[in-house]
Amino acid sequence: MTDAAALPGQPRGGVISGPATARARCVLAPNPSPMTLDGTNTWIIAEPDSDLAVVIDPGPLDEAHLQAVIDTAAQAGKRIGLTLLTHHHADHAEGAGRFAELTRTAVRALDPALSLGGEGLAAGDVITTGGLELRVVPTPGHTADSLCFHLPADGAVLTGDTILGRGTTMVAHPDGRLGDYLDSLRRLRSLTVDDGVSTVLPGHGPVLNDAQGAVEFYLAHRAHRLAQVETAVESGHRTPAEVVANVYAEVDRSLWPAAEMSVRAQLEYLGEHGLI
């Protein structure tokens, strides 16, 4: 077994649910799968001395899970003051409408169509509910509407599906674009270099204790996959399905449909840059 401390980003051991930093607590949704890993991480963010909390990604439309999030906050002496979404995928956002009803809170997201009772989110926005400082960081690529949230007081960034706690994410072509994703990873790297971010609070999988290491691994992984796809095309593998079978042969076949979306994004990127 590989030592977790030696893996990129240093995944934190132990259970995923529970306190992660002084201001962040995870409630794990009961929706494990090859795509969602252990399930969706719903994050409760609050200043220690405040009675208001912000919830990021209430997760699937699962009544028991949504109530567990509310109860977990209440046990810590908090009530939900605002709901935020990292992106529109159902495993993160499907329960948002019902959660808003249960908590009587607004939902805010980059896509105005997902916002309920509140304004959309944009680059430079700062969430201050309950005295928090949560900075909105646009990180398109996984999807066009993907966001991260920088939590400066904890030296942490909540990454949704842009960086996972285990493995790598997909670029959900055609909504997601590889060039955008690479730019987003570089934006996150600047947070680790210039803004003191050391901890990744992902949308799936364990907390990562080495944010810079995780970002560098993701950038290197993408460069490696691009080179593999370019070589596969030069060897005569022309269709996305053929490239997946060649490049992702070691990956569980249940993940090949997701891999094909990433390959389509990679082929588009290589074509745009005149590399194939």
Contacts of 272 (CB under 8 A, 6+ apart): 179
User: Which amino acid, 245?
Assistant: A
Q: Please calculate the CA angle 81-82-85 and round it to the nearest 5 degrees.
A: 160
DSSP one-letter code for 109 = -
The SS3 call for residue 51 is coil
Would you name the residues annotated as active-site residues?
91
Rounded CA-CA distance 29/78 in Å is 20
Structural domains in the chain, CATH included, are 18-214 (3.60.15.10)
Per residue of the chain (276 residues), give pLDDT as tens: 233 445 678 999 888 999 999 999 999 999 999 999 999 999 999 999 999 999 999 999 999 999 999 999 999 999 999 999 999 999 999 999 999 999 999 999 999 999 999 889 999 999 999 999 999 999 999 999 999 999 999 999 999 999 999 999 999 999 999 999 999 999 999 999 999 999 999 999 999 999 999 999 999 999 999 999 999 999 999 899 999 999 999 988 999 999 999 999 999 999 999 988
State the pTM of this model: 0.94
